Amino acid sequence: MDPKETLVLLAALLWMMISSETSQATHLPGCQDNCGGVSIPYPFGTSEGCYFNEYFQITCNTTVTPPIPYLRSSKIEVLNISLYGHMRILTSVGADCYSKSGARESTTGSFGVLQAFPFSNTRNKLFGIGCNTIAYIRGVDIRGQIYVTGCVSWCSNISSVTNGSCNGIGCCQIPIPENLLNYTATVGSVSNDTEIWESNPCGFSFLAEEDSFNFTIANLTNIKNTTRLPSSINWAIGNQTCEEAKKNLTGYACKANSYCYDSSNGRGYLCNCSAGYMGNPYLRCQDVDECEDPNLNKCLKKCQNTIGNYTCSCPKGYHGDGRKDGQGCSADQLLDVMIVVGVGTSVIVLVAVSGLLYFGHKKRKLIKLKEKYFQQNGGLMLQKRLAGREEPTSAAKIYTAEELEKATNNFDESNIIGRGGYGIVYKGIFADNTVAAIKKSRTIDNSQIEQFINEVVVLSQINHRNVVKLLGCCLETEVPLLVYECVSNGTLSSYIHDRNKAATFSWETRLRIAAETAGVLSYLHSAASMPIIHRDVKSNNILLDENHTAKVSDFGSSRLVPLDQAQISTMVQGTLGYLDPEYLLTSQLTEKSDVYSFGVVLVELLTGKRPVSFDGPEEERSLAMHFLSALKEDRLFQILEDCIAKEGNAEQVDKVARLGKTCLRVKGEERPTMKEVAMELERLRMLGKHPWTNVESNYEETEYLQVLGIKFSVRCSYRAEEDDLTFSCLD
């Protein structure tokens, strides 16, 4: 071969290699493409001119072997960068350890502000590890709002812990919110049990990728030596939406043959190659040769690649689209009139028969689908649990899916009036102008189906004017639905924790709401056909109507107690700040657990403070403990809500506070029953309405009371002492 021809051929081959490498490259030419084995695709880069802006700078520390990449100038170590808006990093672990001498060593797992890059709420979770551990997380989102939550991890001994199970026994986990920019993970203790500290002296709290962390028993001791764990953050371009960015052509990051879409977590947008193209959309998307890829090529015979797509054709003598997933190829042939007539007639008959079969099949399919949803939504479980009932279930309407969709405008977001742990509540207006609250479960989950069925069974047992009434349900949809009466004046919590509303919330109204709520719980414990423990009594579950009448709601966690059982063993469930400490330690659920939670609500009504607060001193974090301490030190009127202290009902307020103290006793057997609490609150209300009535500290008389919505005659002997309440009643 001629030397000149050889040089031309080599130059052409070299140009093809360079072009191929450029088209496949994920970084700008001349820029570093990896650090320590971690690929660095554009818009990220290690030096000026190699990254989109300063948020995408990667610092490669070459003083160690292998080199370590860090995000910008921080010490945030990068493990992986995905062009789909994810980045894996390392975050620290918070620990709280005790020695046998009682010495305490604590560290916090914290993370600095990432500005444009929030933590992924779909990939990360907060984990707590230990046998005596409360794991807290406090963070700030992109709007500057503070977020605080936590979970409890408890085990009486390490032998009760199961590998791979993070359900609250040795390990607990909770999701995090969207747009979280920074956080601090801290650890606290549930109790001062030295035996637990000796067997498991440490507790841990940290944020980590759910798929990357698999809990084992060894984590109870060896995670202390692990200073950092993998987490995931989301990244996006700029602060504009996709539509806004496309109008600014000079700053638009998506290159030719690509499109943009909005980030699902935080501000900004991302880019992706259009169909038929592949590569880095922030640099170049190149055409894919579908004909060379058997997974993309759907042609039967001949395939021809085109820009962004491909076409199929049939060989000579055949016609059709030539596709495996289309018409295919059919041989060309002459058809005579008879064949045409025969085929035409056959087609007409086939269409008619097919139509009949189709509509019949569609109807059967719809019936089967409704049966499937009925079983999936717990219909059989509901029938089984109601089969043993001695009394019939109170009348409740079975709604169709079409009725509920029409009432809520196809479940439009503008009709959402509440969100709970297990579902969303919509406001619905039916054809007869009935206004209702419709509760829709979030997802199809066996645990949530059980909560749903449990709420139907429990509410079917209850007939009380201070309980949110169940109007009906719908089981023929993909997720189960409950229909309640609509109580649209908000929750008790929204009134007592809002300064403007609390100032107009009189002591008489607060005492009446407390008496009505106590009446409901007394009814559940002692007047229902089978005793019911609510299990999640809190001010957020007490709704108020337009007259500020209390309506107790949310019976998804409630439990029916057989008449021959005083207590039942369950996995601990409830809300932090309201949980009965005895129930938390023993897992033995009794009616006295509701008494403790009601005591916390009573203290909320008196003080206007939240059950748990992380903003004040440590001794004031638990409202119950702070309240008992104030009573002991005779400082009750220093912690009362201002409007209560000014109303001049000092004696009545003091007696209610003493009643709250008895409800908050650590031992359940020393607490009064809800029937006794309800009677005492009614007595104090009557005394407030008729102050001329002479009520001695020791008296015995016959009273007619209207408690729990039932009128009855009761003869009571009541004794009030400084720190105690004693009741003796004969029906």
Instruction: State the catalytic residues.
Output: 536
Rounded to 5, what percent of the chain is helix, strand, coil? 30, 30, 40
- The identity of residue 541, as a single letter, is N
Phi/psi region, residue 539 (left: phi>0; alpha: psi -120 to 50; beta: rest), is alpha
Upper half-sphere CA count for residue 319 (Cβ side, 13 Å): 2
Smallest Cα–Cα separation from 611: which of 88, 113, 148? 148
Q: What are the Cα distances from residue 6, in Å, to 11, 15, 546, 583, 638?
A: 9, 14, 93, 87, 97
Residues 6+ positions from 303 with CB-CB distance below 8 Å: 290, 291, 297, 310, 311, 312
Pairing mode, strands 58-61 and 171-175:
unpaired
Task: Compute CA distances 262 → 52, 111, 123, 462, 634, whole Å.
Answer: 18, 26, 18, 48, 58
- The neighbour count for residue 305, using CB atoms within 10 Å, is 16
Residue 714 CB-density burial (10 A; 0-12 exposed, 13-18 middle, 19+ buried): middle
Tokens found for residue 68: 């370590």
Strands 481-485 and 435-441: antiparallel
How deeply is 588 buried, as exposed, middle or buried, from its count of CB atoms within 10 A (0-12, 13-18, 19+)?
middle
CA dist 460 → 96, 378, 386, 465, 532 (Å):
46, 16, 9, 14, 12
Taking the C-alpha atoms of residue 379 and residue 385, their distance in angstroms, rounded to an integer, is: 10
- CA separation for the pair 89, 110 (Å, rounded): 13
Strands of the sheet containing 132-141, edge to edge, are: 109-111, 180-188, 132-141, 146-154
**Does a cis peptide bond (omega within 30 degrees of 0) precede residue 611?**
no
Token pair for residue 87? 């980045």
Read off the tokens for 121: 């709420």
Nearest residue to 421 (alpha-carbon basis) of 524, 266, 534, 536: 536
| Helix (H) or strand (E) segment spanning residue 125 | strand 124-129
Helix (H, G, I), strand (E, B) or coil at 331: strand
User: Of 578, 500, 564, 492, nearest to 535 (Cα)?
Assistant: 578
| 540: its two tokens | 């957020």
368 is in an annotated binding site: no
The size of the chain, in residues, is 731
Assess contact for 116 and 104: CB atoms under 8 A: no
**Distance of alpha carbon 158 from alpha carbon 132, whole angstroms:** 11
Count the Cβ atoms, other than its own, within 10 Å of residue 108. 17
Residue 53 tokens, joined: 């802006």
Which residues carry a binding-site annotation?
A: 440
